[in-house]
Amino acid sequence: MAASGYSDLREKLKSMTPHRDEHKTNKYVDGTSNGSGKGGKRKYRESDDDECEHSDDSAEHRELEADRVKSSILQKNIFTPEECAHIEEKIDEVVATGEAGLYREHTVDRAPLRNKYFFGEGYTYGAQLEKRGPGQERLYRKGEVDDIPSWVHELVIKRLVSSGVIPEGFVNSAVINDYQPGGCIVSHVDPLHIFARPIVSVSFFSDSALCFGCRFQFKPIRVSEPVFVLPVGRGSVTVLSGYAADEITHCIRPQDIKERRAVIILRKTRPDAPRLDSTLRSSPAERPAPLKAKRSHRRAEPDAAHRPRVLEMDKEENRHPSASRQRRHSISSENYWNRGQDYDKHRESSGRKVKMRRH
C-alpha cells in the first residue's frame, strides 16, 4: 500500500474530488440575478460504473457559463522571455533543494508527475486531511513550511505590484507546482475559508491550458468537455476572482501538459483561516531525509502525454483534447480588482456556502 494510505490512484484522486449534487449558476460576478429566466442548475447523476450525465448541458447554458467565467478572469503578459529564463533557473534551484531534502517537512508534497512546493503558508488537503469533507482544509502552524524565497519577492511579486495586478503586501503564500509531461491537477476550487480572492498564477517553461467545469473519471483517466478552456502561455499572468474562482471548478488536464511546466501561485490567507492544533504537529525544525532525484526534465515527444503509461500504481490512458473554442478575454486591472473585491464582499454578506473540490 502507498504511503498515502491508498492502494489505487483512482481511489486517491476520487477522494480529492467530491462531486457536487448540483451547481448553481443564477448569479453574475457582481451578484445580480441573470435575468434570463434560464438560471438552471447543472445536476449530476453517477451510475454504478462511475459514468455521469449533465442534465442541463445545452449549448446555450454552457455558453452563458463560459461568459461568466471569462468575465471574472484577468490575463496579462508581463514577463519577457529573458525574465522567464531567469525565473526558471530559480525554480530548478527549488527542485534541487527539495530533492536534497533541505526543506521543512510540509514544504514539499509529491504526487505522480507533479510536485508542489509550499512557501509562507501550507495547508492540508486530500489524503492529508484529518477529517474528510468540504471545508476541512487547515493551515499548518506558523513555521512548518519554509519562507517565501527572496527571488519570488524580487522577480515575481514586485513585478505584479508595479503592473497593478495586486496591491503591495497582498501575498503571504506562494506555491510552485512543477508538472512533468502528462501531469495534471484534478478539478477543484481553492478553499474559500483559507484563501482570499483573487488567486494569481504565473506560468513558466511551456504553454498549457487551464480548464473550467471539467469532471474527471479514472481507469483509464478521462476528462469531460470543459465549459471553458483558457490558454496559458509561458510568462503569462492569470488572475481568478468572482465566478471563476468561487463558483466553478478549474483543473489542469493531462493532455494539456505536453512539456515540463511550472506555475507559481500567489495567494493571501484569510486572517480567520483555521489552523491545525499546534500540539499535534511536529517541530518545524525537523527535516526529512534526502530524497533521490527521480525525475527527468528532458523534453517529451509531442504525443507523449497521449500515450498509455504507468503512474506508480495505475495505468492511465489520455483522451485527445476535444475541440473547444479558446477565446481570450481582457479587462482593465483596476476595474477587475474592484469587481473582485465587491463580489467577495457580497458572497460573504449573503452567507451562501459553496461546496468545494479537494485541491
Active site residues: 123
DSSP 195: B
Residue 233 in 3-state DSSP? coil
Q: What is the dihedral of CA 231, 255, 264, 287, to 10 degrees?
A: 170
Residue 90 in 3-state DSSP? helix
d(CA 301, CA 234): 19
Q: Are 178 and 96 in contact (CB under 8 A)?
A: no
Q: Are 11 and 5 in contact (CB under 8 A)?
A: no
Extended beta strands in the chain, E state: 22-24, 41-46, 52-54, 73-77, 108-111, 114-119, 173-179, 185-188, 199-204, 208-212, 216-217, 222-223, 228-232, 236-240, 250-252, 261-267, 309-311, 314-316
Residue 86 in 3-state DSSP? helix
Which residue, among 336, 91, 352, has the nearest Cα to 203 in the 3D structure?
91
d(CA 177, CA 226): 22
Angle at 134 between CA 59 and CA 262, to 5 degrees: 70
Which residue, among 145, 335, 177, has the nearest Cα to 252 in the 3D structure?
177
Give me 190's grid cell: 481553492
* Residue partners of 158: CB distance under 8 A and separation at least 6: none
d(CA 356, CA 359): 9
Helix H or strand E encompassing 220: none
d(CA 202, CA 223): 24
